[in-house]
Structure formats: structure tokens, C-alpha cells
Amino acid sequence: MRILLVKPQTELLVARRLQEGFLHLEPLELEIVAGGIPKENDVRILDLSVENKPLSVFKKKIADYKPQMIGFSAYSNTFHVVKQLSLIAKECDSAVITIAGGIHATLQPKDFAIKSIDIIVRGEGGTVISNIIKRFHACEELHYGSAVLSPSDTDFEQKAEEETPFYPPIEQIPMARRDLVDRSKYFCVWTSSSTGRLDTIFPRVASMRTSQGCPFSCSFCVIHRVMRKKYLRRRPEDVIDEIAGLKEDYIYFVDDEMFVDAHRVQRIAELLIERNIRKKYISWARSDTIVKHPELFRLWKKAGLDVVYVGLESMNKAALDEYNKKIFVETNRKAVAILKDIDIMLHAAFIVRPDFSAEAFKNLEATIAEISPAEITFTVLSPSPGTQIWNDNMNDFICDPFKYYDCMHTLVPTKLTLRRFYQHFGRLYSLALRSNPLRMNRTKMPFSDLVRAIVKGAKYVFSLYLIYKDYPPTMWLKSGAEQRKLCETDKIKT
Ligand code: B12
Ligand code: SF4
């Protein structure tokens, strides 16, 4: 059987500029699904997010490869692209079987209840896909169990509402088929150097997952909804074997919260050191974990951990409480100090709220000065389906809450006019870029990388200042409820 797995393209300019300039990771989700496909089948991965003309590339691939089954993955910001692609696929060949999987299918399967999607997979796909294919060969119904749904099912609505997504024991998840993608396309900007010199700041990067899920319940995050609070951890030995087998020397851990189980991650670091595996790593971690286990991070520094992404979110107690972070402002400050002391580069992620006043933006500017040098990024608080803030805001959207869900476009009214909001937002990024570690630490790097970083950085910041132009012009100089009055989202299906 010929199977094509497709990662949809992101359509918003800001998201594309992020991918072109700073960070573009491989489609690990599809590589894992491909890993579960029995060997006698032929499988290809088409990552449309690396293509300049994704639609024509997609059509050509269908014409040349003639897939019998197409599996799409989607986050909430790309599910409408998957709808469009599945329609094209069916127009090219009405017999092709189309499958939708990934975060959005898991969260909101009903959104894929359209004629051009045959099956919806909720939860882990690498284990499920082999069953689907076996059933295909045995001419059995392809949708089965609680997590593989078909919109044509009579009880689809009820199943989509009631059934829980499927997660097998983590050791059953197949190994990623990394050979199916052009690995030269994936990179991540690297800003940490203990010698003051970097051969490149855009190294090729591999993604890896050592655990899945998170026991916390931050109000803006979908993970506890997607995984139903499960936290699945891989054995340290399995993690080490996978790392040792990776061609790339730079690794981005895509775990939701890798460091939750300190004992497990300590063992991973020890094994990396014992086996003399010399690679560089980026990971996410909560500030309270860093404060609780500074020695663990010291050990990881020895093992190669260069950068830690920390969702500091805010330096304001009320906001942290509202996000249900279960973290104090002081804990955030301590975590920043610990990482500095250990010489691990901090990547701090902050949330900008749509109700920010000019003063709130100024406070965040002061925070940039306080914590730099560090990589610092900002996202606009955006309701995602499956979260409490979605329920709280679902009658207030000022634009399509899926198409614009990139955590850069505000989905709900801003207190300032849209134009002023994005002037402030763009300025935050300008300041953050100026205080970036490469500049502040005067890191030596190839001249071509320096030029590339400046050009891409400028283009990115420029596109942020101009985000307000993606809304109707009548809205640009309006604030609050007036934006809501002008929008045409009442008909949006939520
Ligand atoms: C790494 C990461 C990124 C990377 C990019 C990753 C990439 N390759 O594109 C970066 C840092 C750039 C990023 C950016 C963003 N991200 Co992000 N990111 C993640 C993170 C932490 C891990 C993703 C990952 O690689 N997972 C590992 C893979 C293997 O797991 P998986 O995707 O779940 O796939 C499994 C199943 O879903 C299923 N499956 C998936 N696809 C398919 C397809 C088929 C056919 C089948 C059968 C099954 C199947 O099987 C897979 C294998 O087990 C997730 C959290 C998470 N747990 O997903 C957030 C997450 C996906 N990101 C999120 C968001 C909001 C964003 C941003 C929009 C905003 C932001 N945070 O900056 C941007 C947008 C970027 C863009 N280009 O669109 C949200 C999405 C929420 C939603 N409703 O869609 C998440 C869930 C975080 C969260 N806590 O809420 N992100
Ligand atoms: S700690 Fe991170 S992954 Fe866990 S719920 Fe909060 S934001 Fe989501």
C-alpha cells in the first residue's frame, strides 16, 4: 500500500518568518506514525511547511506517487488547511483514504466531520496506524475502538464527545522514521557558547521526545486536556539509545515537561556522561523545577544542556495565579539566577495579555532589562479549544479563532487600539533582540550567520509591528468592545 503522511503549511506570515529565521523542527509526529507502518507498505512524508508553493507541491505529489492513503497531522492553527488539502486529495482521487490526526483531531474531532475526511485518530498515532492498515488489508471497518472515529458513524457525535483519546504504554510507541525527511531543512538558532565562539548559530537540529504529557493544569495550555493529565516517561536507557543513534549533534527535546521526574532525568544525564555522548541540548522546564533541583541542572549542563526554555509567563502574581501556574514571582526570579549561575542559557517565554495597558507593556520592557542576556519571546494570550479560557472567551472573538491561532494575533479585543497594541508588541521583540545573548556576550560567529541573523531578525520584528494590518482596516484604530462590534465572527462555529 502507498501511504503519504502530510504536515500542513502554516499560512500566517509571522509563523512562516519564525520558521525561516529561527526555528524549524522536523515533523516528528509523522515520523513516529510512519514508524508504526508495517514494512511491506511504502510510506512517504511530505512536509508542506518547508515548501514555498505548498498546494502545487501537494497536487504534484498526489499525481506522481498516487497514494492510496493520506494521513494529515494538524494543530489548531492548521486544521482548516487540512480540510482544504483533504478536499484536493479527494478531487484528485475519490478512492483515496484520508486520515486526520494530531493535537486538533484529539481535542476537537468534530471539526473534521467533513466528507473529505474518512477517519479521525485521537491520541497516539504510531501504534494505531498499523491496526488501521491491517484492517484495510483484511477489508474490515477501518474505524475501531474509542480513538479511531469515522464522521460517517451514526454515533460519531456521541463518541467524539464522550470517548477518551488513546495512549498506549510509551515503550510501544514506534521509533521515528527520521530517514523519510530531508534533514537539512531543520534547524534552530543556537545562542549559547561557553568559549565565546560558535561555528554556526544555525545548526541542524533533531527533535526528540523522552516523555509525554504533564501533571500540571495551566489555564492556557491544552496538554492536560489532550493527555487527560497522564505523564508517560520513557526509560533512560531507551532515551540514551535513541540519542546515540541520532546523526545530529544538536537536539531539541519536545517533551511538554521533561524534568517532572527528577530521578529519571538525572539518570539520563548520568548515562550521557558515562557513555561519553557529546551533544548539545535544548529543553523546556518549569521555573519551580529549576529552583527545586539546581544540582540536576548543573549535572545536565555537564551532559550538554545549553539552553532551557522556561515559561515564566509573567512577573505578576495575579497573572500567574490566573494562569494556574502554581508558581510565585520569586520562584521565577530564583530560576533565572540559578540558570545564570550554572551558565545555562535562559529562553524566557512571556505572555502578553490582550488587556495590557501601555504601563503593562512598560513593565515587561523593564523585565527584559532585568533578566537579559537571555533569549526572550512573547506570545499573546490566546484561547485554544479545550481550555477554560476558550470557554470564557468564546463569545468575544474578533477574528477566526483557528486561522489566527498562532499566539501572535489577538483573538479577543485589546484594551489599546490594535495598532498601538502591536506597536508595543513589536517594541518588546526589538528590545529582546537587542538584549539577545549573542550580541550582549559578543559571541564570535561566521560573518554570513551574523548577516543572516540580522536580516531575519529585522524581517521578523517588522512583521510583528504590522500584525494589526491582518485585521479589517476599520478595526485598526479601535479598542475593546468597538473591535468586537466590527468583527464578523458571529457565524464562526465554535
Ligand atoms: C515543539 C513544539 C513547537 C515547536 C514546533 C514543532 C513543530 N514540529 O512544528 C515550536 C517551538 C516552533 C512551536 C511553536 C508553536 N506552538 Co508548539 N508545541 C511544541 C510541543 C512542545 C511539542 C510538539 C511535538 O513535536 N510533539 C511530539 C509529537 C510526536 O507529538 P504529537 O504532535 O502529539 O503527535 C502524536 C499524536 O498527536 C498523533 N498524531 C499526530 N499527527 C498525526 C497524524 C496522523 C495521520 C495520525 C494517525 C496520528 C497523528 O501521533 C503522534 C505520534 O505519537 C507541543 C506540545 C505537544 N505535546 O504537542 C506544542 C504545541 C503543539 N504548540 C502549540 C502552540 C500553540 C504553538 C504556537 C501556535 C504558539 C507558540 N507556543 O509559540 C507556535 C506555532 C508554530 C507553527 N509553526 O505553527 C500548542 C498547540 C495547541 C493547539 N490547540 O493546537 C501545543 C500543544 C502546546 C500547548 N501546550 O498548548 N511549537
Ligand atoms: S506546565 Fe507547561 S505543559 Fe504543563 S500545563 Fe503548564 S504550560 Fe502546559
Backbone angles phi, psi at 305, to 5 degrees: -70, 115
One domain, residues 249 and 385: yes
Whole-angstrom Cα distance, residue 420 to residue 313?
Answer: 22
- Closest-CA residue, ligand 2 atom 8, reads 221
- Return mean pLDDT, the chain: 94
Atom of ligand 2 nearest to the CA of 284: 2
Which grid coordinates belong to 418? 490594535
What is the per-residue pLDDT for 327? 97
Who wins on pLDDT, 90 or 388?
90
Check residue 174 and report its DSSP letter. P
Atom of ligand 2 nearest to the CA of 220: 7
One domain, residues 331 and 294: yes
Domain extent for 238: 179-486
Calculate the alpha carbon distances from 276 to 195, 240, 269, 271, 272 in Å.
20, 11, 10, 8, 6
Question: Per-residue pLDDT averaged across 394-398, rounded?
Answer: 92
One domain, residues 351 and 411: yes
pTM for this model (two decimals): 0.96
Dist. CA 284 → ligand 2 center (Å): 10
Name which of 3-17, 160-174, 201-215 the model is least confident about.
Answer: 160-174
One domain, residues 129 and 156: yes
Within 8 A by CB and 6+ apart from 180, the residues are 30, 31, 34, 43, 44, 45
The finding on whether 347 has its CB within 6 A of some atom of ligand 1 is no
One domain, residues 248 and 134: no
- Closest-CA residue, ligand 2 atom 3, reads 256
Q: What is the CATH number of the domain that holds 140?
A: 3.40.50.2300
| Residue of 223, 226, 407 to mutate, ligand 2, most atoms within 8 A of C-beta | 223
Note whether residue 174 is domain-resident: no
Atom of ligand 1 nearest to the CA of 405: 68
Note whether residue 220 is domain-resident: yes
Q: What is the CATH number of the domain that holds 402?
A: 3.80.30.20
Which grid coordinates belong to 286? 518549569
Note whether residue 273 is domain-resident: yes
| CB-CB contact of 374 with 437 (8 Å) | yes
Question: Per-residue pLDDT averaged across 453-480, rounded?
Answer: 95
Q: Quick check: 260 pLDDT over 80? A: yes
Dist. CA 423 → ligand 2 center (Å): 29
The finding on whether 82 has its CB within 6 A of some atom of ligand 1 is no
Whole-angstrom Cα distance, residue 12 to residue 471?
Answer: 12
What is the per-residue pLDDT for 270? 98
One domain, residues 202 and 153: no
- Closest-CA residue, ligand 1 atom 89, reads 221
Note whether residue 491 is domain-resident: no
Q: Quick check: 489 pLDDT over 80? A: no
Note whether residue 323 is domain-resident: yes
Cβ-count burial of 60 within 10 angstroms (0-12 exposed, 13-18 middle, 19+ buried)? exposed
Dist. CA 254 → ligand 1 center (Å): 8
The finding on whether 15 has its CB within 6 A of some atom of ligand 1 is yes
Q: Quick check: 189 pLDDT over 50? A: yes
Whole-angstrom Cα distance, residue 269 to residue 236?
Answer: 9
Peptide bond just before 373 cis, omega within 30 deg: yes
| Residue of 29, 127, 166 to mutate, ligand 1, most atoms within 8 A of C-beta | 29
The finding on whether 117 has its CB within 6 A of some atom of ligand 1 is no
| Residue of 217, 218, 255, 258 to mutate, ligand 2, most atoms within 8 A of C-beta | 218
Q: Quick check: 233 pLDDT over 70? A: yes
What is the per-residue pLDDT for 488? 63
Whole-angstrom Cα distance, residue 186 to residue 167?
Answer: 28
Strand-pair partners of 412? none
Question: Per-residue pLDDT averaged across 303-332, rounded?
Answer: 97
Q: Quick check: 142 pLDDT over 90? A: no
Note whether residue 171 is domain-resident: no
- Closest-CA residue, ligand 2 atom 6, reads 218
Note whether residue 494 is domain-resident: no
Considering its fold, how many domains does the chain have in total?
2
One domain, residues 118 and 205: no
Dist. CA 223 → ligand 2 center (Å): 7
Q: Quick check: 490 pLDDT over 50? A: no
The finding on whether 170 has its CB within 6 A of some atom of ligand 1 is no
Q: Residues with Cβ within 6 A of ligand 2?
A: 214, 216-218, 221, 223-224, 256-257, 286, 311
Q: Quick check: 358 pLDDT over 60? A: yes
45: confidence class by pLDDT, cuts 50, 70, 90: very high
